[in-house]
Amino acid sequence: MKYQLIILGAPNKFEQAILDLLFKQVDELGMNCNMLHILKRDNFKNGYHANYPAYCLYMGDINQEADLDILTILKNDATLILPIVSDLTNFDESIPEILKNQNGFKLSNEEEISSLVSCILEGFSLIRTSRRVFISYRRSDSSHVAIQLYEALEKSGFDVFLDTHSIRPGEPFQEELWHRMTDSDIIVLLNTANFLESKWTKQELAKANSLSIGIIQVIWPNLKLIPEAHICKPILLEDKDFDDYTHKKLEESVVKNIISSTEVLRARTLAARQDNLTSEFISFASQSNVEVTLHHDKFISIYKNNEEYIIIPTIGVPKSLSCNNAEELILRIKQKKPKCIYLLYDHVNIRNKWLCHLEWLNQYLPVQSLKLSESLTILGANGE
């Protein structure tokens, strides 16, 4: 699976500079640049995969109406499409009718390229600076491999949770474990012979499924896939994949494969979780007879008295940096500052001390955190 950047519309003089910076930043994120696949009209039919992460740039031009058939496919697949023009005052003349309800991006000089590349990475959900992985395993079966993967993933730029390494003395063990799982992007599950014999590992699997967190299932030799893992990438091991007969350490090539698979599945699971949160909010809005607009940047607008309120579905635990990034993103996209910006999140399994911290931050920050369970109140107050 690859990240698909689709470039359509008119030729653009900044295209190569955009790609050069994009590949540079992808490399800086610790990803293999081969995971990024560039598609245009000539290779779209044979190269496009609807179930892979995708982001489309439509390069506008005066009276431009190119690639309407491909745009229709992408719109039907709910692919994010960013119309790009050199002058926003000519937006309607530069962009096809199918895209005129989208927010456009002004690209008139090289200084604006970095902002555009940021939009692409945000569209792929790759810009979240905390790249969190949770290792689920049975200590008696695979502690040596768990530690090996912990060290390798940390070295590759991930923030890794491993129960023996990541919980400070004095912290409530199970409460912190669920909190960290809720804030994780991916779970690496070590499927060993006795994995499901532990009530704790069974609970971790059930919790991961309830949260729609993707699972890299590393399956020991002669064992089968655990079918209860819903969003799952299996990696079947053989005896030769270990560096000795004790099965205490994986070969380096296998470790690299696990890391690569984690990178690939991460975008899919983040997108799935964000889509679930978005869908729940929109469902609540429908029940309250509140009209909402879902934008291509994955944020939501609601209106009251001709003033706009922005809702940004947020995976895991909102942070003050998340608030700052959200405000910068919205202000970059919107020409008019909205009345308020909310970070929408699901508070289930988040520790009380963090929930209290978020309530405290709400007293001081212009961007507010908002529990999904309380969003009906906001909709009622702001959407009437």
CATH value at residue 107: 3.40.50.360
Phi, psi (rounded to 5 degrees) for 293:
-125, 125
CA 150 to chain centre: 21
Q: Are residues 297 and 366 in the same domain?
A: yes
From the CB of residue 62, how many other CB atoms can be counted at a distance below 10 Å?
Answer: 11
Percent of the chain beyond pLDDT 70? 86
Residues 89 and 35 in one domain: yes
47 and 105 together in one domain = yes
Q: Look up the domain containing 42 and give its range.
A: 3-123
Q: Is residue 261 part of a domain?
A: yes
Residue at a domain's end among 71, 106, 123:
123
| Confidence check: pLDDT of 14 > 90 | yes
Is the model's pLDDT at 271 over the cut of 90?
A: no
304 confidence band (pLDDT: 50, 70, 90): confident
- The answer on pLDDT for 341 being more than 50 is yes
Distant-in-sequence, close-in-space partners of 187: CB < 8 Å, separation ≥ 6 = 133, 134, 135, 136, 181, 204, 208, 213, 214, 215, 216
**pLDDT averaged over every residue in the chain:** 83
Amino acid 381: pLDDT: 47
What's residue 384's pLDDT? Answer: 44
What is the model's pLDDT at position 296?
60
Same domain, 240 and 219: yes
Residues 258 and 369 in one domain: no
pLDDT, mean of residues 265-289 = 81
pLDDT of residue 6: 97
Residue 274 lies in a domain: no
What is the model's pLDDT at position 17?
93
Q: Are residues 139 and 238 in the same domain?
A: yes
Higher-confidence residue of 2 and 143: namely: 143
**Predicted confidence (pLDDT) at residue 295 exceeds the cutoff of 70:** yes
Q: Are residues 39 and 13 located together in one domain of the fold? A: yes
Q: Which helix (H) or strand (E) holds 303?
A: strand 300-304
Q: What ranges in 231-340 are assigned the alpha helix state H?
A: 252-287, 320-333
Specify whether 51 is located in the same domain as 116. Answer: yes
Q: Is 327 a domain residue?
A: yes
Is 102 part of a structural domain of the chain? yes
Do both 111 and 145 map to the same domain?
Answer: no
According to the model, what pLDDT value does residue 297 have?
A: 59
Which one has a higher pLDDT value, 167 or 156?
Answer: 156
278 within some domain: no
User: 103, 123, 143 — which closes off a domain?
Assistant: 123
Is residue 208, in this structure, part of any structural domain at all?
yes
Residue 143: is its pLDDT beyond 80? yes
Same domain, 83 and 178: no
Lowest pLDDT segment from 9-13, 127-131, 359-363: 127-131
At 197 the pLDDT is 87
Alpha helices in 124-239 (DSSP H): 139-155, 163-166, 173-182, 199-210
Q: For residue 256, is it within any domain?
A: yes
| Of 244, 209, 201, the residue nearest 227 (C-alpha) | 209
Question: Domain ends where: 79, 103, 123?
Answer: 123
Same domain, 116 and 50: yes
Please state the domain count of the chain.
3
353 and 255 both lie in a single domain: no
Which of the four pLDDT bands, split at 50, 70 and 90, describes residue 360?
Answer: very high
Q: 13 lies in a domain?
A: yes
Kind and range of the H or E run holding 217? strand 214-219
Contacts of 270 (CB under 8 A, 6+ apart): 125, 128, 185, 315
